[in-house]
Amino acid sequence: MPRLRIQVQGVVQGVGFRPFVYRLARELRLGGWVQNRPEGIRIEVQGPASAQEDFLHRLLSEAPRAAAITAIRSEVLPEVEAAPFEILTSESRGDRLPSIPADLAICPDCEREILDPKARRFRYPFTNCTACGPRYSIIAALPYDRPRTAMAAFPLCPECRREFENPRDRRFHAQPVACPRCGPRLGFSGPGGELEAEAGEALAAGVALLQRGGILALKGLGGFQFLVDAGSQPAVQWLRDRKGRAEKPFAVMFPDRAALGAACEVDAAALVVLEGPAAPILLLPRREGAAIAPAVAPENPDLGAFLPSTPLHRLLLDSFGGPLVCTSGNRSEEPMVIGNAEALARLGDIADGFLHHDRPVLRPLDDSVGRMEGGVLRLLRRARGFAPLPLALEGPSVLALGGHTKGSVTLLAGGQAVVSQHLGDLDSPQGLALLDSTVADLLAFLEANPQRIACDLHPDYGSTHAAAALARRLTLPLSRVQHHHAHVAAVMAEHGLDGPVLGLAWDGSGWGPDGTVWGGEALVVDGSGFRRVGHLRPFPLPGGERAVREPRRSALGLCLACLGTVGPAADAFTLDEVALLSQMVARSLNTPLTSSIGRLFDAVASLVGLRSRSDFEGQAAMALEFQARRGRGAGTYPILLRSGQADPTLLLEALAEDLRRGAAPSAMAFRFHAALADLALAFAQAAGLEQVVLSGGCFQNQLLSELCEARLGQGGFQVFRPALYPANDGALSLGQAWVASRLFMER
């Protein structure tokens, strides 16, 4: 009988793939073996040709829900002595790079088990199987086996050992398997660190604290989180005051789909994602009268909503009986805390109590965030459940360190790009340390030797300094990739585009080679190069970085540049402020020029009267989008494209006239969005390229994205947008790696 060797690559480790292969081969009466290798899964099967053909077909069609096969190769081998099919011990080295498994949300089987009083794991908060549970957050080294995880410290009891070794059990070779007898245990401590309860009593103490309106610091799957009663205005406001997060929306975890549906509009496609193996936060329209405290998401018609992703969260929500605010356990602008001692030291003056456990978290993982558009999931933050799943991408090995906000690291090697989890901002020492440890993680996991380092063009980013130091230490060339070029390249990498394409890269800011702040760019990208074929007319930002927090400054600078007068921007200032800022602009004192669409959004939001100051990045633009949703069909403003430069003067004049007439803010907001969609089409028609890429933080705006895509589509253009890699700076490292790799090949 023939023997077949099969090599499977992709997300096939840590998702129950080997037990699935074992059961399938045994069912078809095939001999052979399956083995974990660093490059993926290797299988040898021997038996009748018809059974082998059935095996290959079902290998693809019946794979575990969290598996993602990216490549499968087979070859015929000489027949050997027949032996029953078995799972071999994992091999630690191989020729191609492996895939690192992502953490998986609790599966339906484990959820039923923890709620079943007759089950051995009834109410056990660390229940898992081959279809769910921690992966990336607990892996110390590859291949993925228990001795190389944070579970190595928890020897299996006899009952768990039998499950682990039983091919017919769903915990067969489930590496994090545990039970109340041999697995991790909960503890509850007060803010001073004193241990007050353990196991089930610890969970009850945490619930009681939440019911009293307290702030609970919970050690989740990827680190600590702050939880409070989402229906209590005082509790939510207390969390805001203590954490120093004045207005930025919080996410809400709902106990089940019924509670979710009572508060949010959710369709079938969204439920599939919310209840799937990644279980991200989704931005959903909030229902009128939803029993959610106003302080959860002030002046925001949407809620960031999700369902319990771990048994611990499921049990906590089940006992509490209602939705909970669930947000990262950190101080603003710092990474989330992952260690018990660190949590007590850094979060003790915020939390009223700590619900912790003794399973180490090896790296921080925030919750992923996305939205559904036409049944398509578009991620805004890529973390738990998605990172670090690979993207098939050929090219020389490159390590890219991303930008300064919404950081990430990408390692391109062995035919795949591995993009790290969301790292947050790099303003703090903790953020920079996380960047360094993530770089070390990826290099160690994949045993890769990059041929080039890549980073942003900005000279003052923390990631740029780290990349330069790393390039010196490893004696490797350093590629500094322009910010907006990287935005476009990330989408090209995701969609397998080579170019030339027209990339519309619209965001808040990025360092331009001409020394100005770019952000409203039309770039032709072809391979490693780009040409700037269009941009927004530059205007001054009085006070530089202060304008990011004060949209009124962008409005004043824009009006002075385009209208020659402060005009309607004056309403947001005192007379003395107008005089001072006008002099700064006239003398070019701390007033950098920008072509940023993001700052244009800020300016219009201030002029319309929505936001003169912002508490968090993008707040003014969000307010403008929310108004525009109410003004659909209100027409458009004119915007002139001349010699590649988009001049907003006519737009401002029309807006000023609307203000004099007392037009509704919603109508003005929509006309502005429609004008930008017209501009996108004008840029595309001028460039004359069929393929158009939309990227940059402005395209997190759902209405803007939809209007631009529709206008471009009507004009006959093929539009590509980010989906599983964010439009914002979270995907810069992927774009940098793509550009640097092609630069290497072209030279």
Domain borders along the chain are: 3-87, 186-357, 382-497+729-746, 503-720
Tell me: the pLDDT tens digits for 472-499? 999 999 999 999 999 999 999 999 999 8
- One-letter amino acid at 299 equals E
Angle between helix axes 551-563 and 597-608 (nearest 10 degrees) is 100
Q: What tokens were used for 226?
A: 């702050």
What amino acid is encoded at 124 in this protein?
Y
Please enumerate in sequence order all residues whose Cβ is within 8 A of that of 183, keeping only pairs 6 or more positions apart, or say none.
Answer: 124, 126, 154, 160, 359
Token code pair at residue 403: 């930008």
* Residue of 448, 412, 227, 241 lying closest to 326 (CA atoms): 227
- 503-720 and 186-357 share a CATH fold: no
Query: Is 83 in a helix, a strand, or coil?
Result: coil
Kindly list the distances between the CA atom of residue 61 and the CA atoms of 49, 54, 69, 386, in Å, as whole numbers in the listed order. 19, 10, 11, 22
SS3 708: helix
Spatial separation of the C-alpha atoms in residues 501 and 486, rounded to whole Å: 13
Whole-number Å distance between alpha carbons of 665 and 686: 32
Q: In CATH terms, is domain 186-357 a member of 3.40.50.720?
A: no
* Residues 254 and 260: beta-carbon distance below 8 Å: yes
Cis peptide before 390 (omega within 30 of 0): no
Cα–Cα distance, 325 to 336 (Å, whole number): 16
State the alpha helices, DSSP H only, in 244-379.
Answer: 257-263, 268-274, 311-320, 340-347
The closest of 85, 84, 66 to 12, measured between CA atoms, is 66
Q: Is 3-87 a CATH 3.40.50.720 domain? A: no
Write the burial class of residue 361 (CB in 10 Å: 0-12 exposed, 13-18 middle, 19+ buried). buried
Residues 632, 710 contacting (CB under 8 angstroms): no
Q: Kindly state the tokens that stand for 566.
A: 């402060």
Give the Cα separation of 135 and 150 in Å (integer).
10
d(CA 405, CA 423): 8
Asked if residues 736 and 482 have their Cβ atoms less than 8 Å apart, the reply is no
Q: Are 380 and 422 in contact (CB under 8 A)?
A: no
Any idea which architecture 382-497+729-746 has in CATH? 2-Layer Sandwich (3.30)
Residues 459, 269: Cα–Cα separation, whole Å: 43
Q: Tokens for 665?
A: 């803010």
> Which two tokens mark 726?
């964010």
CA atoms of 284 and 280, how far apart (whole Å): 12
Instruction: List, for the chain, all residue ranges whose pLDDT scores fall below the cut of 50.
Output: 94-95
**CB contact at 8 A, 298 and 237:** no
Residue 95 pLDDT: 46
- Residue type present at position 484: H
Superfamily of domain 503-720: ATPase, nucleotide binding domain (3.30.420.40)
What's 634-690 look like in SS3?
Answer: CCCCCCEEECCEEECHHHHHHHHHHHHHCCCHHHHHHHHHHHHHHHHHHHHHHHCCC
Whole-angstrom distance, CA of residue 578 vs CA of residue 584: 10
Beta bridge partners of 718: 691
